[in-house]
Amino acid sequence: MSNAGELTNGHAIPAKFDATGPASTTTELDFALTAPSAIETRMEEGFTQQQPQSEEIEPVTAAPLSKKGQKKLARAARYQEAKLERRAKEKERKKEKKRLAREETKRKREAGEPVGEDEQPSRKKARTTVAEPFGARVVVDLGFDDKMTDKEIVSLTAQLAYTYSANRKASQPFSSLLFTSCNGRTRERLERQSNAAYQRWINTEWWDGGYEELWGDATSASASTSKQKCEKEKVVYLTADADEELSELKEDEVYIIGGICDHNRYKNLCQDKARKQNIRSARLPIGKYLAEMTTRKVLTVNQVLEILLEWVATKDWREALYSVVPKRKFQSNEVENREVVYEDVEEFAADEKDLDGPDDRTSDS
């Protein structure tokens, strides 16, 4: 017999119950203490019901190619194989060509014959041998922005790019190119071209002010003491309307080209400007050496510079003029002449790939 308060199955038995009492009483107590509660049972059943049913994932199989797709895939494979074969054959041809060239060079040297490289240097080597720059200075006067249409501005900026290119590629270029009065629509157009590529042109200067700053009596705010000056007597404005004919270029002089495309609307424009500023003016000797030229002797900005560059290289006006002046200029039909000029500008614009299709190009020379 156990005392009241004795533990049974780990639990205290109340005093009124006796361990030796009826079996039914002890069994019911033990069952109540050891069996799981109804709440726990219901929680377990609910948890079991919430478990998601696992689904079987079916493997994804690619759809079979159609006959058209199979043919396309086969063609691509054949093309790739043929491409590799073509590359291999091309390499073999180049190797064979180099081998034959070496044998021919060896044969010529053994026979004492001149080798092709000795007779004429390659174009790449020829461009690297540039003579000392010609000391004269060339100025392009852009002070006619208000006298041109938008299309003429486009044409003028194309001429400027061509002018720079001609001087850069010349065997004996001018020491520098100066562009004055660069403002307004001309400047805006240049800024839009190739991310302002003109700012990266070597041996060029761009002034907001006019060329009057060359001799130091300008009053504009852009005048600077750091700019290279010259004597006013050394400045020559090139214009087709001048009375004096240019006989030669001198390294200590400055030559101004009128940067305008006006379709011949303005007569004596550059000549009047030079007379007003009391500077010397002169024309290229076109009438003397190209007497058969019946059209008006007006050239583009880049053509004027190219003629000057040719004279520097040859010291011969006739050769310089004939090598640059377009053959169409010798025709009497001026309308046909202008149409061809327009085509030439389009070709130049197409080569630059960044210029719009400009119109006719004209500039006093």
Residue 360 to residue 156: CA distance in whole angstroms: 9
Residue 98 to residue 327: CA distance in whole angstroms: 42
Q: Enumerate residues 6+ apart whose C-beta is below 8 A from 10.
A: none
Catalytic-role residue among 145, 241, 262, 364:
262
**CA 191 to chain CA mean position, Å:** 13
Residue 341 to residue 327: CA distance in whole angstroms: 11
3-state secondary structure of 245: strand
Phi, psi of 258 (to 5 degrees): -75, 115
Residue 155: count other Cβ atoms within 10 Å of its Cβ.
28
- Specify whether 262 is catalytic: yes
Residue 308 to residue 285: CA distance in whole angstroms: 11
Q: Enumerate residues 6+ apart whose C-beta is below 8 A from 38.
A: none
State the residue for tokens 């308060």. 5
Q: Which residues of 95-134 are buried (b: 16+ CB within 10 A; e: fewer)?
A: eeeeeeeeeeeeeeeeeeeeeeeeeeeeeeeeeeeeeebb
The CA distances from residue 232 to 60, 73, 213, 283, in Å, are: 88, 77, 10, 18
β-strand pairing of 11-12 with 7-8? antiparallel
In contact, 324 and 222? CB cutoff 8 Å: no
The residues that are catalytic are 262
